[in-house]
A and B are shown apart, each in its own frame.
Chain A
């Protein structure tokens, strides 16, 4: 098949091999002190397309964060395979994956600049090249004037931006976000969401977002996976069909309400079930 004949970039990318693929992935935690083993996740089959913005929503305790750690290479799967760019992820964080955690993960004893420089530590660039890259990311994230501040001197939202900047400077092809705005207030969340959309377009990476906020998922994503209560598996993958150029004003779009409502319909039963189980 001639790739050139495909109509647009999106189709081409869909045709190409998935960036991340999960096959029959399961995670079972070993029993703690005579209890039963906990089946946290799976089996899950999932393909992430290169360049898309993908979100996962699900009731709390459904294994979203476990799924996140598996793809980040921070924990091994009990069963099944996970591949990034065709190569299996075997309990190690692969090159080309950038991770932003839910908690503030700035190193408090390093300035903003020094924190961001850590992202380039592994690549061992010459100092001049490193400074240029850090400068560019500082500018991209509007952090330039705070470069020599310590994290404790910044607000929660600013600190999270430092963490995102530290990830971006690595120029990842896949960015994993684990509820990165959970600790922020609603207005900051929406604006940070816009910012993430802007960055996503600017650097052309694939974004994988874990969130419990339906509106956030509905606004940001191309596709949204809704997960079941534990053991988490994927109930449905919802395509939003938003244009690539979008921002938080998508909330006003006629199709936003039905999309969010559909997500909530799927999630409501699961959340109730999860609450009953507890």
Chain B
């Protein structure tokens, strides 16, 4: 099944190509060739470096903010009652409508992209951390108390390891949303990055480039997702 899925996807793609024709999209084989020639250009690597930079910053900020926020709101009941509804509200806003505000606040360039990517990544990570903290077996928290652990030890020794497997699920979601946010942030009001490159290709109707970029981004997302899934499984095995 797991091996069959890519085959089905490629076959569907080929079928769509035969149906829609040259103007709309390229065949899988042509796309792979276009992608290979694309990764040979220096232009691509410059844009990729820009995107990778922005994405790495956005993801690390989303993880740190999300996990810290989640632990705080999950553990401190009053704060949770006040802020969790706000967080859920924020999670349901289509972030794109906030894009103009982000541009006003951060200006054009890297900070805006990072901020936008972070906004996408924080809610799923924070919400899954909150549920992870709520699901900790109460006896483990009592153990922390009878062992006389201070607040810092409580977080480091009991809370973080206990919530790690469930947080990983949120991280996988946060990872993909963060990538969407970063690429989206590059599509408008940016001069560099893969998102910008993609928008330019759309503007020029360069179907080769559009298809090649889409393929590369998909491959990256799938591979990263697989790595995170493996870590996730490994963390759960011990419980």
Contacts and interface: CB of A to CB of B under 8 A. Distances in A.
Contacts of B162: 107, 109
Contact of B161 (A95, A97, A107, A166): A107
A121 B149 contact: yes
B49 interface: no
Given A109-B238, A152-B239, A121 B147 contact: yes
- Grouping DSSP codes into helix (H, G, I), strand (E, B) and loop, the B interface class, with mixed when no group exceeds half, is helix
Given A103-B139, A152-B238, A74 B146 contact: yes
Contacts of B148: 93, 95, 121-122
A99 interface: yes
Interface residues of B, number: 18
B40 interface: no
A166 B147 CA distance: 9
A232 interface: no
Contacts of A170: 147
A103 B139 CA distance: 7
A132 B181 CA distance: 53
B143 interface: yes
B145 interface: yes
B61 interface: no
Contacts of A109: 161-162, 164, 238-239
Contacts of B149: 118, 121-122
Interface string B122-166: 000000000000000101101101111100010001100110100
A150 interface: yes
Contacts of B239: 108-109, 152
Contacts of A63: none
Nearest to B137: A103
Interface residues of A, number: 23
Given A93-B148, A109-B238, A118 B157 contact: yes
A74 B141 CA distance: 11
A226 interface: no
A93 B161 contact: no
B157 A107 contact: yes
Nearest to A106: B143
Nearest to A101: B139
A107 B158 contact: yes
Nearest to A97: B146
Contacts of A269: none
Interface string A91-129: 001010111010111011110000000110110000000
6 contacts: A101-B143, A103-B139, A119-B147, A121-B147, A121-B157, A170-B147
Closest 9 A/B residue pairs (Cβ)? A122-B148, A99-B146, A109-B161, A103-B139, A105-B139, A105-B143, A93-B146, A101-B139, A108-B239
Given A118-B157, A152-B238, 5 more contacts: A74-B142, A101-B142, A105-B142, A107-B140, A109-B161
Interface of B: 137, 139-140, 142-143, 145-149, 153, 157-158, 161-162, 164, 238-239
